[in-house]
Homo-oligomer: A and B are copies of this chain.
Amino acid sequence: MEKTVIDIEPAASVLKLLGDKTRLTIIGLLKDGECCVCEFVEVLQMSQPSVSQHLRKLRDAELVKERKKGQWVFYSLNSDHDAFLMIEEILTFIPEQKEKLSELEKKGLRICCD
């Protein structure tokens, strides 16, 4: 994929969205594939409405896509976004988040979403 220059204002908007611990963790989790809302709630140890509201911001900015399957909604990174490469690059600087998901599995809490 070709590296695109992102204007200051949209770039700042994306960075602002990433500039929140919760959302940065969400994006970090999505690096390794899609997740459903209930997984975020478990991993982040936050209320469901709070998580939903963060996801809405990310979706409004089109940083993530949603896929509905049954009663679940799966979120994933939107690789078509202008800032996708920048986000991927940023994610190389933060710790792997998928470990949190495997811990979930150990606890048997990743029961939903299949």
Contacts and interface: CB of A to CB of B under 8 A. Distances in A.
Interface residues on A, range: 20 to 34
A94 B7 contact: yes
Contacts of A18: 12, 15, 19
Interface stretch (A20-28, A34-42, A67-75, A101-109): A20-28
A90 B15 contact: yes
Interface in A1-37: 3-9, 11-21, 24-25, 28
* Interface of A (DSSP majority class): helix
How many copies the complex holds: the figure is 2
A89 interface: yes
A102 B15 CA distance: 27
B24 A20 contact: no
A20 B16 contact: yes
A80 B39 CA distance: 37
